[in-house]
Amino acid sequence: MGKWEPKIHIPDELLEENERWNKLEQELADVKAENEIFRRLLWMAHGSHGQYGDDGELQCAECRLDFKRDNATKIEHVLKSGIIG
């Protein structure tokens, strides 16, 4: 005997909605991955000399930024204004 599977009908609209959600989830995952790449590149090139990157951190003791956790507005403000420490 084969494996028993319930015979239920899933409406096409639900299948299409599920497919849209799957695509959105993938897009979000892609954006998060790119965000991590750009944060690391910005941390590497931002010009201060107090960088701490051990164990996956992206911090700078000189400008007091956490490139992994601080929001983009704060990072932009500090870098544009030249605030150090």
Long-range contacts of 72-75 (CB under 8 A, 24+ apart): 75/42
What pLDDT does residue 84 have? 61
Greater confidence (11 vs 3) lies with 11
Asked if residue 52 belongs to a domain, the reply is yes
* Domain range for 54: 13-81
Asked if residue 4 belongs to a domain, the reply is no
Q: Encode pLDDT of 23-76 as tens digits.
A: 999 999 999 999 999 999 999 998 888 888 888 899 999 989 999 999 999 999
Asked if residue 2 belongs to a domain, the reply is no
The model's pTM: 0.75
Tokens linked to 32 = 């998060």
Greater confidence (15 vs 34) lies with 34
Asked if residue 5 belongs to a domain, the reply is no
Asked if residue 59 belongs to a domain, the reply is yes
Of the pLDDT bands very low, low, confident and very high (cuts 50, 70, 90), residue 82 is confident
